[in-house]
Amino acid sequence: MPEKTVAAPRLHRAARIDDAIHAVRERWARRRGHLPTVIPYTGYGSTTRIRVLGRVLLTKQPKPGSRAARTMQRREERVRGWRSFTSVPVGDVSVTIEVEGIVRTVQADRGGVVDTPVDVELEPGWHTITMQTEGSDAVEAPIYIVAPGTDFGVVCDIDDTVMVTVLPRPFLAFWNTFVLDEHARIPTPGMAVFLERMMTEHPGAPVIYLSTGAWNVAPTLSRFLSRNLYPRGPLLLTDWGPTHDRFFRSGREHKETNLRRLAAEFPDIRWVLIGDDGQHDEEIYGEFALDHPDHVRAIAIRQLSTSEAVLAGGRSKLDQLPAEAATPWVFAPDGAGLSDKLSKLT
């Protein structure tokens, strides 16, 4: 009997409209001479398997005599600020990844995002891989390899945890995303020292920044973290726009999925989960700790100030810990308080 062909799932109407708009924008951009460019993001993995992250956008060539042309600035370095949102993503395009002589070709998704595992043989520590697509230069992406036997790691939220953004306010969210650069964003007091202290106490431990923010702001967030001396680590963000089966992407699902993935990828690591009480971090972390108690060392929640909580739309509904919770919780308004309370538990 001939094998039955499994039909691809039908796209949500919003996704079909979104794809049609992107197709028009892509044709328009290519006619204007825009070229595909891979924007590399920091990846991570074990000594045998890594997670490669990046995005393919169409970007314009610099004008003759312009500063970018004079300095030979690479195309991916010119996609900053609002340009990361106005640049056209290239969906379903082939991307070639090279890791220590291993070459693999993968497909970017509908939004141009590359998020794929690659089998490797690498030593622990930082490495550099290359990514390239049609007509583009090869770009370098950093990859952090976690050593076998590592049993400590940190997963940290970004908005209102490492930086003060009050993200739920529509106008301020727009302002922070499209207008302000990393120089104007406000770091949360003491949080960088808190994270760095844990990394010093646990050399080689991974720190993962998990946020519902869009991949478009990844370069800006990376510069902010570096400028404010946060430990180096990969960003796990999401893509704006409709999915194949819904009108809006679920930020909560994004966090839950990645927490489960980290637990599967690093079964020996017990994570310190860091977030704030302005959105759903307490609920997400609490449920994950109940379902995966062997993968959570502690949960640290930054408490928003009264004004921040009002502007953020209020605090979370969690006013007491679940009776069955075995995971230690600490609460404080800044990094110094969280560090002090967490140190008393260990």
User: Could you report the per-residue pLDDT of 6-36, keeping only the tens digit for each?
Assistant: 444 555 455 556 556 666 665 665 666 677 8
User: Could you report the per-residue pLDDT of 88-105, keeping only the tens digit for each?
Assistant: 888 878 999 999 888 999
pLDDT tier, 341 (very low <50, low <70, confident <90, very high otherwise): very high
Q: Compute the residue count for the chain.
A: 346
* Domain locations along the chain: 34-145, 152-343
**How many CB atoms within 10 Å of residue 227?**
12
Q: Is the pLDDT of residue 340 over 90?
A: yes
Task: Tell me the mean pLDDT in the region 253-259.
Answer: 95
Spatial neighbors of 180 by CB under 8 A, at least 6 apart, are: none
Place of tokens 């006013």: 319
Angle of the 335-343 helix axis to the 191-201 helix axis, nearest 10: 30
Token digits of residue 130: 């290359």
What CA–CA distance (Å, rounded) separates 301 from 282? 7
Query: What pTM, to 2 d.p., does this model score?
Result: 0.82
Q: Write down the CATH number for the domain with range 152-343.
A: 3.40.50.1000
Alpha helices in the chain (DSSP H): 13-31, 67-70, 83-86, 170-174, 191-201, 218-227, 251-265, 281-291, 306-311, 335-343
What CA–CA distance (Å, rounded) separates 56 from 311? 35
The CATH label, of 3.30.110, 2.60.120, 2.60.40, 3.30.1760, for the domain at 34-145 is: 2.60.40
